[in-house]
Amino acid sequence: MSEESKKRILERVEESFTEETDLLTRLVRTKSIIGREQEAQKLYAESCHNLGLSVEMFTPDKNTIKAHPAYTPIDLDYIDRANVIAEYKGSGSGRSLILGGHIDVVSPEPTHQWTHDPWSGEVVGDRLYGRGAADMKAGLAANIYALETLFDLGLRPRGRVIIESTIEEELGGSGGVLACFMHGVTADGMLISEPSKEKIYVTHPGIRYFRVTVQGKTAHAAYSHTGINAIAKMAPIIKAIEALDIERAERLRYPLVEKQTGRPCNLSMGKMQAGDWVSTVAGWATLECRIGFVPGETRQGVEDEIKKTIREATNGDQWLKEYPPKLDWFGWDTDPWMEPTDSTLVKKLQVTGSKVYGAPLELTGASGGLDARFGHYFGVPSLSYGPTGANYHGVDEYVDLPSLMRVTKTLALFIADWCGV
């Protein structure tokens, strides 16, 4: 491709960036909390259709995906929850490419802490705010506009390009990218435009969820001394998990992730529920946590560490000796993922980036799990690369719009380079 073509691609992305931002705004305004993705998927499918792609709304089948070793248990059904698979067949021979992204977002609660309506897509300066703005509706918009840019300039990729918008990444992606791969979607490479601060994610930690359940003994609050309070029994476990998180962060090393997040791994408490009535001694308590672990650690090793921590925290408690805390592993359940850093896909994306950034894209690790990990099981080299933003899963999530423009430019150049035009 000529330097002139490259220049026109970069200019064209800028020219259509208002439109791209408009699509992003509409995506943010269309709520798509995990499990209720359909309305946003329809909007995305329509955008793909308008681009001239052939669009399939693909509904996964739980029994099919359950059989796969990378399956993460997800307690939702698949009624009105389709993946969007949009295909451009390509004009001839050339490498094929999947441009992927997930449409689902996590709850914006506590919404009263937001200074911008989480469903507004409000723009202040360079920032577009909203739940999912960065994670990852910006990337989904970039995927469409990267391809549209080429089309606008009459550049028809030779290789096949598939744009995917998938569901339930936040729950592990079983019914999303995994299901699409099992459905037969494949290519010579996959890029997922997760918010990566414009670096290339080539690795992420192992991730597991677990739930600690402590049993107490209910009693009327007026006779609370005859009951056993599960909230009080949980307190030392909370302290021990908090301490283990700090100890692990000091003990373990994971350079590619550390340089991204400042931490090799995280052990986090997300949800606690206990008792159901103020005037009854809490008879049960559950605590749900997420643990990230580093290459070299095993799923079993992590499990043993949590068991030991709980055992030591409750050591000497006569009640808990008789009724030991229960430990369940649920939801996200993945080993650490690493893509070879010298693959053609990595090298080509790094070099393409230098056209936009003036230097090759940096390789780094994500601290969260990525849909890109599924590529490994299907022989599809896969990476994540996307815009800069902040407060993913938090209050006042936003995406940096100039970074989104740079990402769109890079993706457009990359499609042209990878697939040929």
Positions that interact with its own copies (CB under 8 A):
106-107, 109-110, 113, 135, 170, 205, 209, 215, 217-225, 227, 229, 231-232, 234-235, 238-239, 242, 245, 249, 261-263, 266-285, 287-290, 292, 331-332, 366-368, 391-395
Which lies closer to its own copies via its Cβ, residue 186 or residue 261?
261
Question: Dihedral of the CA atoms 236, 242, 248, 254 (nearest 10)?
Answer: 160
Instruction: Kindly state the smallest distance separating residue 86's Cβ from its own copies, in Å.
Output: 28
CB of 338 to its own copies, least distance (A): 16
Distance CA 367, CA 123 (A): 27
Which residue lies nearer to its own copies by CB, 56 or 169? 169
Question: What is the closest distance, in whole angstroms, from the C-beta atom of residue 118 to its own copies in the complex?
Answer: 12
Q: Which CA distances in Å does 307 have to 15, 210, 241? A: 56, 11, 11
**Distance between CA atoms of residues 105 and 396, nearest Å:** 14
Place of tokens 């159901």: 276
- Based on the number of CB atoms within 10 Å of its own CB, is 193 exposed (0-12), middle (13-18) or buried (19 or more)? buried
Could you tell me the smallest distance in angstroms from the CB atom of residue 318 to its own copies?
A: 16
88 by Cβ neighbours in 10 Å (0-12 / 13-18 / 19+) ranks as: buried
Q: How deeply is 239 buried, as exposed, middle or buried, from its count of CB atoms within 10 A (0-12, 13-18, 19+)?
A: exposed
- Which residue, 130 or 331, is less far from its own copies as judged by CB? 331
Query: Pick from 211, 202, 259: which is nearest to 234 by CA?
Result: 211
Of 44 and 332, CB closest to its own copies:
332
Q: How far is the CB of 38 from its own copies (least distance, A)?
A: 20
Distance CA 157, CA 144 (A): 14
Q: Is the peptide bond before 136 cis (omega within 30 degrees of 0)?
A: yes
Of the two residues 37 and 56, which places its CB atom closer to its own copies in the complex?
A: 37
Is the Cβ of residue 343 or residue 391 nearer to its own copies in the bound state? 391
User: DSSP class of residue 233?
Assistant: H
Smaller CB distance to its own copies: residue 365 or 420? 365
Shortest reach from residue 97's CB to its own copies, in Å: 27
Rounded to the nearest whole angstrom, what is the least distance from the CB of residue 314 to its own copies in the complex?
A: 14
Looking at beta carbons only, is 270 or 301 nearer to its own copies? 270
* CB burial string 316-346: b at 16+ within 10 A, e below: eeebbeebebeeebebbbbbbbebeeeeebb
Q: Judged by CB, which is closer to its own copies: 20, or 288?
A: 288
CB of 223 to its own copies, least distance (A): 6
What b/e string do you get for 275-292 counting C-beta neighbours within 10 Å, with b at 16 or more? Answer: beeeeebbbbbbbbbbbb
Least separation in angstroms between CB 263 and its own copies: 5
